[in-house]
Amino acid sequence: MATVKRLIECVPNFSEGVNATIIQNIADEIRNAKGVQLLDVDPGQATNRTVVTFVGEPEAVIDAAFLAIKKASQLIDMTTHTGEHPRMGATDVCPLIPISGVTMEETVEYAQRLGKRVGEELGIPVYLYEEAASQPERKNLATIRAGEYEGMAAKLLKPEWKPDYGPTTLPVKHGVTAIGARDFLIAYNVNLNTTSVRRANSVAFDVREKGRIKRKGGKLDGDILRDADGEPLREPGACPGVKAIGWYIAEYGVAQISMNITDINQTPLHKAFEECNHSATRRGLRVTGSELVGLVPKQVMLDAGRYFLKKQQRSIGVSEDELIKIAVKSMGLDELAPFDPRKKIIEYLITSESGRLVEMSLTKFAHETSSESPAPGGGSVAAYVGSLGASLGAMVANLSSHKRGWDDKWEYFSELAVEGQTIKDTLLDKVDEDTDAFNQIIDAIRLPKATDAEKSTRRSAINDATRHAIEVPYSVMKLCIDAYDFLEKLIETGNPASISDIGVGVACLDAAIISASLNVKINCKDYHDEAYVTKMLNDTNALVTVSQDKRNDLISKVEAVILG
The domains of the chain, with CATH numbers, are 7-181 (3.30.990.10), 184-294 (3.30.70.670), 296-334 (no CATH), 357-563 (1.20.120.680)
Question: What mean pLDDT comes out for the span 116-127?
Answer: 97
Residue 346 has pLDDT above 90, yes or no: no
User: 378-401 and 362-370 helices cross at what angle (nearest 10)?
Assistant: 160
Instruction: Look at residue 229 and tell me whether its pLDDT is greater than 90.
Output: no
Neighbours of 217 (CB within 10 A): 9
279-317 pLDDT per residue, tens: 999 999 999 999 998 888 888 999 999 999 999 999 999
Q: What is the average pLDDT value for the chain, to the nearest integer? A: 93
Q: How many CB atoms lie within 10 A of CB 152?
A: 25
pLDDT at 124: 97
The two most distant CA atoms of the chain are separated, in Å, by 89
Q: Where are the alpha helices (DSSP H) in 172-259?
A: 197-207
Do the bridges between strand 186-192 and strand 212-213 make them parallel or antiparallel, or are there none, so unpaired?
A: unpaired
Q: How far apart are CA 460 and CA 529, in angstroms?
A: 12
Cα distances from 358 to residues 237, 373, 382, 519, in angstroms, run 45, 17, 13, 20
Q: How far apart are CA 528 and CA 543, in angstroms?
A: 23
Note whether 164 and 150 are within 8 A (CB): no
Per residue in 311-321, pLDDT tens?
A: 999 999 999 99
Instruction: State how far the Cα of 170 lies from the Cα of 156, in Å rounded to an integer.
Output: 7
**CB contact set of 466 (below 8 Å; sequence gap of 6+):** 441, 523, 526, 527
pLDDT at residue 184, as a whole number? 85
State the Cα–Cα distance between residues 467 and 524, nearest whole angstrom. Answer: 8
Q: What is the pLDDT of residues 440-466, one digit of tens each?
A: 999 999 999 999 999 999 999 999 999
Q: Tell me what the mean pLDDT of segment 473-479 comes to.
A: 97
pLDDT of 352 reads 53
d(CA 74, CA 243): 31
Task: Give the closest residue to 387 by CA, choosing from 428, 356, 435.
Answer: 428
pLDDT of 50 above 50: yes
The pLDDT of residue 1: 34
Note whether 391 and 420 are within 8 A (CB). Answer: yes
The per-residue pLDDT for range 142-198, each reduced to its tens digit, is 999 999 999 999 999 999 999 999 999 999 999 999 999 998 889 999 999 999 999
pLDDT in tens, 478-526: 999 999 999 999 999 999 999 999 999 999 999 999 999 999 999 999 8
Label residue 2 by pLDDT band (50, 70, 90).
Answer: very low
CA–CA separation, 302 vs 131, rounded Å?
28
Pairing of strands 177-181, 91-100: parallel
Give Cβ neighbours of residue 239 (< 8 Å, ≥ 6 apart): 207, 208, 209, 261, 266, 267, 271, 272, 275
Q: Are 127 and 147 in contact (CB under 8 A)?
A: no
Please report the pLDDT score of residue 399 as a whole number.
94
Amino acid at 518: L
Active-site amino acid positions: 85, 434
Q: Considering only 150-154, 215-219, 429-433, 510-514, which range has the smallest mean pLDDT?
A: 215-219
- 322 burial type by CB count under 10 A (0-12 exposed, 13-18 middle, 19+ buried): middle
Task: Give the sign of the dihedral formed by CA 347, CA 348, CA 350, CA 355.
Answer: positive
d(CA 468, CA 474) in angstroms, rounded, equals: 10
